[in-house]
Amino acid sequence: MPDVRELRDHSPPPGEQVQFRFSDRGVRLKPLVKPQGKDMERQNADAGEDMDIDETLELVWRQFVPEIMFKAPNKRTVAEGTHTHMSMEERLNSTTALFKTFNMAGIFERIQFRVIDALDWIALFDRLFPTGFNVSEGKKQNYNSCLYFKTWQNAMARLSRPHVRLVRSEVLQHFNKLWWLPYAEQGRIWRTDVVCRPWTELPGFSGTPVVHIAFNERFFRGPQAILLRRIPKTMHPLAEEEEEEEDE
């Protein structure tokens, strides 16, 4: 996986740039007692402890999308690759614009999706950007290997509770502008399995594990708006049986 620390110098297009002004409102990160030693100095720098609250959050927001896409799951075998068509370079250069489109032809071959309301969207935000306190310490596949997530948790731990609420409220405003995201669960960012209700698979039932995508109810315009890469039409045996039964 490429070194996402390179994203410190990554500049999204103007329309996707986010700037925070919490320092102007008196929000400060509490100093942490840092273990000494050269190795720990490197870890502290990697975690963004040399930055103020605004720089830290802007870095987190820039890293969020590329790291989520780096974690896109593999298919059943290594030879089949990942569920996304995006190259490593495309993922490294991705911005929040990726999550503001229904044209997924360059991202996925097939998906299964649900449209989620405002409350479920906030629950998704809570999993991807937790408070930093009262967070489950259970297994978090993908999360703990994401630098954005560790930097975010580090920042939340260094803020007072009122400031945590203030910061998360503003970050949520940006999060609410996204059209879709992987349907992250408490223990993993990406979920894949064979489609079942209430999920809908596109472009049709395959009988194979497919990524779970959550669409933001605020922007969803119907499944006809979703564009995926065209693939040869092959029907899964179970789907063929269902079609035969309907014909009878």
**Helix (H) / strand (E) containing 55:** helix 53-70
pLDDT number for residue 90: 93
Token duo for residue 72: 């896109």
Q: Are the CB atoms for 71 and 36 separated by under 8 Å?
A: no
The neighbour count for residue 245, using CB atoms within 10 Å, is 8
Q: Per-residue pLDDT tens for 66-112? A: 999 999 888 766 566 778 989 989 999 999 999 999 999 999 989 99
pLDDT number for residue 244: 46
pLDDT number for residue 99: 97
pLDDT number for residue 163: 96
**Helix (H) / strand (E) containing 215:** strand 210-216
User: Which residues, at least 6 apart from 241, have a Cβ–Cβ distance to it below 8 Å?
Assistant: none
Dump the DSSP string for 205-244: --SS-EEEEEEETTT---GGG-B---------HHHHHHHH
Q: Report the alpha-carbon distance of residue 32 to residue 1 in Å, rounded.
A: 29
pLDDT number for residue 73: 87
User: Which residues, at least 6 apart from 217, have a Cβ–Cβ distance to it below 8 Å?
Assistant: 115, 116, 117, 118, 121
pLDDT number for residue 33: 63
Q: Report the alpha-carbon distance of residue 114 to residue 109 in Å, rounded.
A: 17
Answer whether the bond into residue 73 is a cis peptide, omega within 30°. Answer: no
Low-confidence residues of the chain, pLDDT below 70?
1-11, 33-49, 76-80, 133-141, 230-248
